Chains A and B, each alone.
Chain A
């Protein structure tokens, strides 16, 4: 039983996670083809209950809930993915730089990041978004940069252990430059343990964007997004109408499915390569 074997045979929980996550990706990509109604199309009265015509009922201004959720997958997943990619791009680059470039750079970067982490990330994001406004670009850059501080810490701690190995020493003696060592020697060895972290950061950013949208400060209308949909339909819960629960459920299912996949990846990584899968 090799590592390839366990890669080919994920446990049941990971299979479920993959299926759910791929389903949402599918919805996001082919939204116009599978959604029964348009994204902003008003099709009936406010908060109609689920029926054969509207599977999940209608929302606060009479749009089809199911179609909104299918379209909403685009914005919600897309923005979270963009934030996570940006945060890894910045965080990993800075982290590797801190590990490779020597003590002074490391100290300056690490202390700076420590200071930036002394304010809760939500409070920081609220301050910046209030000044710059919640355009999509500002949203992605703000969350990406704030999240990169955490990625930095992990990337640095992993890279520090790689930098002391012989092959990096050899590359240094060979006269390779800083950038080459970061990219060709350290990065390939730092990436495998970061894969699971990518999933976890995605979950965090995904929930964070949804939370901001729920507060009315994230993705702005007319785009459908799940956090904003919970906000728009929040009042209906007092009348016993479960309208805000559908988009909230979509958010919950996404993070749970990613967590299931991450657990599986972690269990592979924790095993020494070539060890038996029963460990």
Chain B
């Protein structure tokens, strides 16, 4: 088991390295040249050449990649092109904001999705299952901003319970923060919970159709015991990977939500960077999102190995 985990972690690190390479290739080697992208169409060949040298673009790509990578590993993500501010200094508070929002949403979504998913799998075809099916299908089908704007219209504008913009400061109290971020967190929760619930239901149902579950029922065990003792331990691995997979989805879903609520997180930073074609900012944010994505996927696999009862004893 230990060997499996070590292999998986090693693979995760390797993927992370590939991610950095992909980010670099996508942003620097694609035909769209940074210098002409930043300076626009009015640039003369002379200014273009000067700007390229200023950016270090006259050197070969692999040298620049290695330099960028070693700097990034040491926590130096460069300076933003537009306002000349250190990227890592802007990024750190924004990252903690994004993690707060994502963690907030996950804290509500994960337990609810698992409980409701197992419940609707147990009551397959009954009312609660059908209701959950229709509601989650609805939540998956509509765009994030649709849910967000409806929540704003109802709870912020009409009822006035919550603010419509989630402005947070560094020295804000925790309860204030929880209150201000409630609407974006609920929007995210609805989105992620829908996916999670459906996949949890599907993986429990897949286990429930196994022969050994039928055997347990035929032995005359009560339904509760069959589900809690026989089905759930084996369903845990798929459920955990479902959860981690959807948390990875949450990382990306956060981008649109942050823009709707003008929440100062990494997602908005990246969108700003893309609009202004600020290369170091884009690379740094992509690194954060890509890294989180790889991390969660690796974590999912490791946890799945850990809880799998079949791998508990060495063969």
Which A residues lie at the B interface, using CB under 8 A? 115-116, 118-124, 126-133, 203, 207, 210-211, 214-217, 227, 230, 234, 237-240, 242, 244-245, 248-249, 251-252, 255-256, 259
Contact = CB atoms under 8 A, between A and B. Distances in A.
B293 A119 contact: yes
A68 to B, nearest CB: 17
A127 B32 CA distance: 11
Contacts of A215: 255-256, 259, 271
Interface string B214-256: 0000000000000000000000000000000000100110011
B286 A256 contact: no
Main secondary structure of the interface of A (DSSP, over half): helix
A24 to B, nearest CB: 14
Given A120-B293, A230-B149, A237-B153, A128 B142 contact: no
Contacts, number: 140
Contacts of B150: 245
A123 B284 CA distance: 11
Interface in B138-168: 138, 140-146, 149-150, 152-153, 156-158, 164-165
B157 A131 contact: no
Closest 9 CB pairs of A and B: A252-B142, A248-B146, A131-B32, A130-B274, A255-B141, A120-B252, A240-B157, A132-B32, A256-B141
Interface residues of B, number: 51
Contacts of A207: 143
Contact of B282 (A127, A230, A244): A127
Contact of B252 (A123, A249, A251): A123
A245 B152 CA distance: 11
B164 A251 contact: no
Contact of A118 (B149, B252, B293): B293
B18 interface: yes
16 contacts: A123-B293, A126-B274, A127-B274, A128-B26, A128-B30, A130-B27, A133-B37, A211-B144, A211-B256, A230-B146, A234-B145, A234-B149, A238-B157, A240-B157, A245-B153, A259-B140
Contacts of A216: 271, 275
B146 A127 contact: no
Nearest to B291: A119
Interface string B264-281: 000000110111010000
B39 interface: no
A120 B290 contact: yes
Interface string B183-194: 000000000000
Contacts of A259: 137, 140-141
Contacts of A133: 32, 37
B211 interface: no
B157 to A, nearest CB: 4
B22 interface: yes
Contacts of B165: 238
B31 interface: yes
A238 B155 CA distance: 11
Nearest to A233: B149
B266 to A, nearest CB: 10
Given A123-B252, A126-B286, A127-B286, A132 B142 contact: no
Nearest to B29: A131
Contacts of B26: 124, 127-128, 131
Contacts of A238: 152, 156-157, 164-165
